Amino acid sequence: MANLFEGLENLGLSGAGNMKLYDQEKEAKAATAAKEAVKEASEEDYIFDKSFKCPVCDKTFTAKATKTGKAKSTGFDPDLRPHYQGIDTLKYDAISCEKCGYSAVTRYFAVNPTSGQIKLIREGLKSFSGLPKTEGIYTYDDAITRHKLALACCVMKHAKASEKAYTCLKIAWLLRGKAEEGVAAGVPEAEIKALKEQELEYISGAYDGFNEAFSHENFPMCGMDENTVTFLCANLAHEVHKDDDAMRLLARIITARDVNSRIKDKANELKEQIKAGK
């Protein structure tokens, strides 16, 4: 391209010959986009303080919550654990009242306990001494503590097996996330092994709970249809080395007529993995 600024050197603009008409705009936009991308990768940008009213003590409190639609999905583990860019949203999925201690995962916090359950929860939490203070984002330890408190409240109020199983599953996923974070940070192998062992304990609890729920509860269950829960349970059974159970559940999916092709394909993949001893 000809020099569009030819002659301006005579006016003292010695660099005019190197000026580009549009490329600098593109470079400036690219630099701005890069800065925004770096900013979006910060976990603080995905969360905010949200107000809740506790159904047990009627007090209003605030807890960290994720901004709807802000985080971009990047996929799932075989047992449906979700992944998002820049944040592990699972850390913010247990809501805990800082006043009385009542806790539940988000899906169930909005479901008010019965008067009988409230009485049981108040009795169970009568010695609650408060949650550790947190600033900014929740660490995995913060999140695990809140989810364990939610699981304890499930037991106190005699929650359905599916709610207990769902909460166990969330804790297992958090332990997996903590282990992954530990591996990246160079945490000793013994600590990672201990986290994986704890994860399997909660996976086992989730599997047992969903198994029980199959016999006594209706679908949808925890927001999932029957085929999705069946596929989830097959993965959980495989994780805790109950491959006979896993194969039985997979057969139910593979032979069903109302299963979408994506789940059926995943079921066939898991079946081949189990047959191959993986």
| 185: number of Cβ within 10 Å | 7
Does the pLDDT of residue 266 top 90, yes or no? yes
> Dihedrals φ, ψ of 48, to 5°?
-155, 165
The DSSP-derived string for 3-62 is -TTTTGGGGT-TTGGG--SSHHHHHHHHHHHHHHHHHHTSGGGGEEEEEEE-TTT--EEE
Residue 276 inside a domain? The answer is no
What band does 132 get if pLDDT is binned at 50, 70 and 90? confident
pLDDT above 70: percentage of residues in the chain? 88
Taking a C-beta distance cutoff of 8 angstroms, is the pair 46, 67 a contact?
Answer: yes
Average pLDDT (65-90) is: 95
Query: Within 13 Å of residue 148, how many CA atoms lie on the same side as its CB?
Result: 12
- Name the 3-class secondary structure at 262: helix
Residue 6 inside a domain? The answer is no
> Dihedrals φ, ψ of 68, to 5°?
-60, 130
CA distance 189 to 186: 8
> Dihedrals φ, ψ of 117, to 5°?
-65, -40
pLDDT above 90: percentage of residues in the chain? 80
What band does 133 get if pLDDT is binned at 50, 70 and 90? confident
Structural domain that includes position 193: 47-198
Per-residue tokens: 263: 């789940």
The domain total for the chain is 1
CA distance 213 to 147: 20
Residue 216 inside a domain? The answer is no
Residue 255 inside a domain? The answer is no
Task: Report the pLDDT value the prediction gives residue 110, as an integer from 0 to 100.
Answer: 87
Residue 194 inside a domain? The answer is yes
What band does 186 get if pLDDT is binned at 50, 70 and 90? very high
Task: Report the pLDDT value the prediction gives residue 10, as an integer from 0 to 100.
Answer: 73
Does the pLDDT of residue 35 top 70, yes or no? no
Secondary structure element (H or E) that encloses residue 154, with its range: helix 140-156
What band does 115 get if pLDDT is binned at 50, 70 and 90? very high
Task: Report the pLDDT value the prediction gives residue 168, as an integer from 0 to 100.
Answer: 98
Per-residue tokens: 53: 């009213």
Model pTM?
0.85
Secondary structure element (H or E) that encloses residue 253, with its range: helix 243-255
Residue 142 inside a domain? The answer is yes
Does the pLDDT of residue 49 top 90, yes or no? yes
